[in-house]
Structure 1
Amino acid sequence: MLVIFDWDGTLSDSTGKIVRCVQAAARATGLPVLPAIEVQQIIGLALEEALHRLYPTVSVAERTRLTRAYVDAFVAADATPSEFFCGVEAGLQSLRERGLKLAVATGKSRRGLDRVLANLGMTDFFDATRCADETAGKPDPKMLHELLSYFGVPGEAAVMVGDTTYDMAMAQAAGMRRVAVTYGAHSPAQLTPYKPELLADSFADFMGWSERADALVAGGMVSD
């Protein structure tokens, strides 16, 4: 089975950092500072789209300054990488030892993902990765189609694991199985309409599901 993970809010406990950096960028550029719950709703989107949704009426020049201020704030904050959620580090290693293929599909930029993977000593850990600035951003399913093609597997033999409606919509459009984690940016009530096979309250919940699902894939008994 191929397991494709979102990064922020799914593996990495970085939701709070993203929110604080968006708010800091707004202060630095003189724009209204939005409440955390509102900023959380755009996590997972490509940066340009995310900031456009938060500040739809500002000029292109203002949004450009906001983008630069956010990047500066996040790079400075990310000098200390966000911690993994409980159980993620050991869980990822366990998945590798079981022989599963692991990938990342993220709204981060290529530069941003490469930086965090290097800081964590994980540059070569994942079998493949896709970022929003090198393909279509979420919820467009293009990055998932690219990963399925790269590995040569059908959607039913792969699962997308994410914490936002953008992850779930992307996987649904790609005909993929999907698991939603409830400890990230979006609430269970937001995630449920996308009919994930599991609402995981912890990474351990996902790990238990993966063992059962992998056995079904190996036995050729995958259901829709």
Structure 2
Amino acid sequence: MFDFDLTLADSSSGIVECTRYALRTLGVTEVESGRIRSVIGLTLHAMFRTLTGNGEPESADEFARLFVERADEVMVSSTQIYREVPDLFEQLRGQGINVAIVSSKFRYRIEAILDAAQLRPLVDVI
């Protein structure tokens, strides 16, 4: 079982871009890349609360909607699978070991990234 972001792939540049897009659209001043990177792995609502201090559910919902809107455009192309992953997955498959990915990232996004890297056939469960 593997997490996805920062375990199998680096999608941090896409996450930073999508976060900035959503925050900028909501009128939030620029947030440092390092601050955004420090909250990768949290849910989108938790990212919003942590980065802005705003606990309003409606604002977090709009942030999440805007983040996903931008992610649909850039996330697959901006995500880099770590170079060791294809060989690791092949070795596990060769040993009869199933591979599962557990992540808060949307399943369809992980599937698209794996498809682009031609790794989806080597993953049994997402």
Give the TM-score category using the shorter length: 0.7 to 0.9
The separation in 1 between residues aligned to 2:107 and 2:27, in whole angstroms, is: 28
User: Is the 2:101–2:123 contact (alpha carbons within 8 Å) kept by the matching residues of 1?
Assistant: yes
User: Is the 1:47–1:108 contact (alpha carbons within 8 Å) kept by the matching residues of 2?
Assistant: no
Q: Which secondary structure state, in structure 1, belongs to the residue aligned with residue 99 of structure 2?
A: strand
Superposed displacement of residue 58, structure 1: 5.2
* Alignment correspondent of 2:11: 14
Superposed displacement of residue 77, structure 1: 0.4
User: Is the 2:13–2:78 contact (alpha carbons within 8 Å) kept by the matching residues of 1?
Assistant: no
> Aligned in 2, Cα 1:58/1:32: closer, same or farther, shift over 3 Å?
farther
User: Is the 1:11–1:85 contact (alpha carbons within 8 Å) kept by the matching residues of 2?
Assistant: yes
Name which of 121, 126, 129 aligns with 2:123.
126
- Where has structure 1 moved over 3 Å in runs of 4 or more? 117-124
- What are the Cα deviations for residues 27-80 of structure 1, in whole angstroms up to 9, with x where unaligned? 122112211111112211222222222223253332222211111111100242
User: Is the 1:81–1:119 contact (alpha carbons within 8 Å) kept by the matching residues of 2?
Assistant: no
Name which of 79, 83, 96 aligns with 1:82.
79
Higher relative helix content: 2
Q: Which secondary structure state, in structure 2, belongs to the residue aligned with residue 105 of structure 1?
A: coil
> Aligned in 2, Cα 1:93/1:81: closer, same or farther, shift over 3 Å?
farther
The separation in 2 between residues aligned to 1:47 and 1:73, in whole angstroms, is: 13
- What are the Cα deviations for residues 132-182 of structure 1, in whole angstroms up to 9, with x where unaligned? xxxxxxxxxxxxxxxxxxxxxxxxxxxxxxxxxxxxxxxxxxxxxxxxxxx
- Please say which structure displays the higher CA radius of gyration: 1
Superposed displacement of residue 108, structure 1: 0.6
TM-align CA RMSD? 2.1
User: Is the 2:15–2:75 contact (alpha carbons within 8 Å) kept by the matching residues of 1?
Assistant: no
Higher relative strand content: 1
The separation in 1 between residues aligned to 2:83 and 2:117, in whole angstroms, is: 16
TM-score, normalization: structure 2?
0.83
User: Is the 2:10–2:82 contact (alpha carbons within 8 Å) kept by the matching residues of 1?
Assistant: yes
Q: Which secondary structure state, in structure 2, belongs to the residue aligned with residue 52 of structure 1?
A: helix
Give the letter aligned to residue 8 of structure 2. Answer: L
Give the letter aligned to residue 41 of structure 2. Answer: G
Q: Count matched residues.
A: 126
Name which of 63, 67, 79 aligns with 1:66.
63
The separation in 2 between residues aligned to 1:73 and 1:61, in whole angstroms, is: 19
* Alignment correspondent of 1:105: 102
Identity in percent: 23
Q: Which secondary structure state, in structure 1, belongs to the residue aligned with residue 102 of structure 2?
A: strand
Q: Structure 2 regions of 5+ residues with no counterpart?
A: none
Q: Structure 1 regions of 5+ residues with no counterpart?
A: 130-224
The separation in 2 between residues aligned to 1:128 and 1:39, in whole angstroms, is: 29
* Alignment correspondent of 1:92: 89
* Alignment correspondent of 1:172: none
* Alignment correspondent of 1:56: 53
Higher RCO structure (Cα 8 Å, ≥6 apart): 2
